[in-house]
Amino acid sequence: MTDVTEAPTQAAAASTVSTMPLGKALTAGLRRALAENDRVLLMGEDIGPLGGVFRITEGLQAEFGPQRVIDTPLAESGIIGTAIGLAMGGFRPVCEIQFDGFVYPGFDQITSQLAKITNRHEGALRMPVVIRIPYGGHIGAIEHHQESPETYFTHTPGLRVVSPSTANDAYWMIQEAIASTDPVIFLEPKSKYWQKGEVDTSAPALPLHASRVVRRGTDVTLVGHGAMVTTLLQAAALAESEGTSCEVVDLRSLSPVDYGPILDSVRRTGRMVYAQESPQFTSLGSEIAATVMERAFYALEAPVLRVSGFDAPFPPAKLEGLYLPDPDRILEAVDRTMAY
């Protein structure tokens, strides 16, 4: 039997945990991937000496050289097309898109080529390409700088789509995405780049495509991804002060979706609210709500409710607070589902 009185001292001695912002955790994860596999390349606009708009690649070109960390022309279609060719040649390119709304010039390459090449070759030709996309609002930016385009990619067979919400997930999920033999859309919640958290560099906590319960509760299941997880946790704290216990599930993987923890939670609470920054119509939240109602119908005490951005283009920065779901809008949905 282990002597529990010695465990804390032993754990401290072997600790590999440090605290860092989510953005720096991504940098650390990219650095480790570059160091461990010389076939890993980074590509993107201004990612070299500048380190990218959000400084995620800061210092990496100086460390690994301009042939591993490549400043590209301002041409997203060219970046993705070049990455596809590099993947055919045995490399593992990681492409950075500066902002979410800038991905559309490369959309045809992603959905018509990258997502389909492996199937076209009956599995004989793999596409280990990662496309990093800073996405979402909360930064007071202009048009095409605060969008949430995840549904376009989750709708596309052949792509894996993931989004971390914590620094630890950012560190490990970027490495797992790079190790994948399939193309991965890696959505980074830009508003959380500066949010600090503990990072354990010893081992990943979960597989890339696993969802996770981040707060236990008994009355309502709250589900979301990326930056919305923090908002859900804030809403859960408000609900608790009013006597409602909310369980929070971090989706982490948007395609494929790990429904196990979500369904287990709903079967215990009987109620669910899904929150997302993207518009509601034909969204990821719509799909998850439909699936939960199909697979856990007899456990539900109320319909699955959704809280989303509005079905309109993202507004000017001064109006983003009205557009984006906040704890109050989520709490209102919690109150509605509890009223059934």
Q: What is the pLDDT of residues 268-305, one digit of tens each?
A: 999 999 999 999 999 999 999 999 999 999 999 999 99
User: Between residues 166 and 13, which one has the greater pLDDT?
Assistant: 166
- Which segments of the chain belong to CATH 3.40.50.920? 212-338
N-term to C-term CA, the chain = 50
- Name the pLDDT band for 2 (thresholds 50, 70, 90): very low
User: What is the per-residue pLDDT for 138?
Assistant: 85
Is 225 among the catalytic positions? no
- Which segments of the chain belong to CATH 3.40.50.970? 16-200
CATH topology classification for 212-338: Rossmann fold (3.40.50)
Query: Would you state the torsion angle of the CA atoms of residues 85, 180, 105, 139, taken in this order, to the nearest 10 degrees?
Result: -140
User: What is the per-residue pLDDT for 15?
Assistant: 65
Mean pLDDT of 192-208: 94
214 Cβ contact partners less than 8 Å away, ≥ 6 residues apart:
229, 233, 248, 249, 250
User: What is the per-residue pLDDT for 14?
Assistant: 53
Cα separation, 266 vs 231, in Å, equals 20
Q: State pLDDT tens for residues 18-30.
A: 999 999 999 999 9
Looking at 121, 138, 145, 209, which residue is catalytic? Answer: 145
Cα separation, 162 vs 31, in Å, equals 20
Least-confidence region, from 16-20, 121-125, 263-267, 314-318: 314-318
User: What is the per-residue pLDDT for 143?
Assistant: 80
- Looking at the chain, the whole-number percentage of residues with pLDDT higher than 70 is 96
Q: Which of 99, 83, 155, 167 is nearest to 132 (CA)?
A: 99
Which CATH number applies to 16-200? 3.40.50.970
